[in-house]
């Protein structure tokens, strides 16, 4: 493995030139505004991460402020690690909406997937404090091919 890197959607992997890409990006940013969320936009939002190579391991730090520890889930599936989190809103029900004048805090489901090909999955350790999820992931130890001598018949 050359590096630990996020798995991106097919849209991010496009290799062809799209002259309307800026307009597409502007439209996507506009409709991701929390005001438009109730109109049925159902895309999963992403959270920001930093990945650091510490020599014998990787350190992944994910910003997840405002999440309860119980609402964060880590799933290993083959060589893919998925971090997902769900934030619940206190004003989702119309009965509970009383008293709110303005609501900007986002809620919903957030997820990111990472290729962990060079990581030892059994050694991954997770810690969540102060709104930051920290994953310490030891690198997989490669066993060098052993040499041997061959007999000539």
Tens-digit pLDDT profile for residues 64-118: 988 889 999 999 998 899 999 988 766 555 545 567 777 776 677 889 999 998 8
Residue 81 belongs to some domain of the structure: yes
Contact 61, 134 (CB under 8 A): yes
Tally of structural domains, the chain: 1
Higher pLDDT, 90 or 144: 144
Residue 64 belongs to some domain of the structure: yes
Tens-digit pLDDT profile for residues 27-75: 766 655 544 444 333 445 678 999 999 999 999 999 998 888 999 999 9
Contact 83, 111 (CB under 8 A): yes
Higher pLDDT, 17 or 24: 24
Contact 126, 135 (CB under 8 A): yes
Residue 27 belongs to some domain of the structure: no
Residue 100 belongs to some domain of the structure: no
Residue 26 belongs to some domain of the structure: no
For tokens 């206190």, what's the residue? 90
Residue 147 belongs to some domain of the structure: no
Q: What is the pLDDT of residue 82?
A: 92
User: 83: domain range?
Assistant: 1-11+45-88+107-140
Residue 23 belongs to some domain of the structure: no
The SS3 call for residue 78 is coil
Contact 71, 85 (CB under 8 A): yes
| Cα separation, 44 vs 142, whole angstroms | 36
3-state helix, strand, coil in the chain (%, to 5): 15, 35, 50
Q: What is the CATH number of the domain that holds 125?
A: 2.60.40.790
Residue 73 belongs to some domain of the structure: yes
Q: Which residues of 12-47 are buried (b: 16+ CB within 10 A; e: fewer)?
A: eeeeeeeeeeeeeeeeeeeeeeeeebeeeeeeebeb
């Amino acid at each position: 493995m050359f590096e630990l890197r996020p798995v991106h959607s097919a849209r991010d992997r496009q290799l062809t030139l799209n002259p309307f890409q800026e307009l597409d990006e502007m439209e996507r940013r506009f409709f991701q505004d929390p005001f438009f969320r109730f109109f049925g936009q159902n895309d999963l939002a992403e959270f920001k991460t930093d990945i650091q190579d510490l020599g014998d391991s990787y350190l992944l730090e994910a910003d997840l402020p405002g999440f309860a520890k119980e609402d964060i889930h880590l799933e290993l599936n083959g060589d893919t690690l998925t971090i997902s989190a769900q934030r619940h809103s206190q004003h989702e029900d119309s009965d509970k909406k009383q008293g709110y004048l303005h609501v900007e805090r986002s809620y919903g489901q957030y997820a990111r997937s990472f290729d962990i090909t060079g990581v030892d999955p059994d050694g991954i350790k997770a810690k969540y404090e102060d709104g930051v999820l920290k994953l310490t992931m030891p690198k997989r130890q490669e066993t060098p091919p052993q040499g041997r001598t061959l007999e000539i018949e």
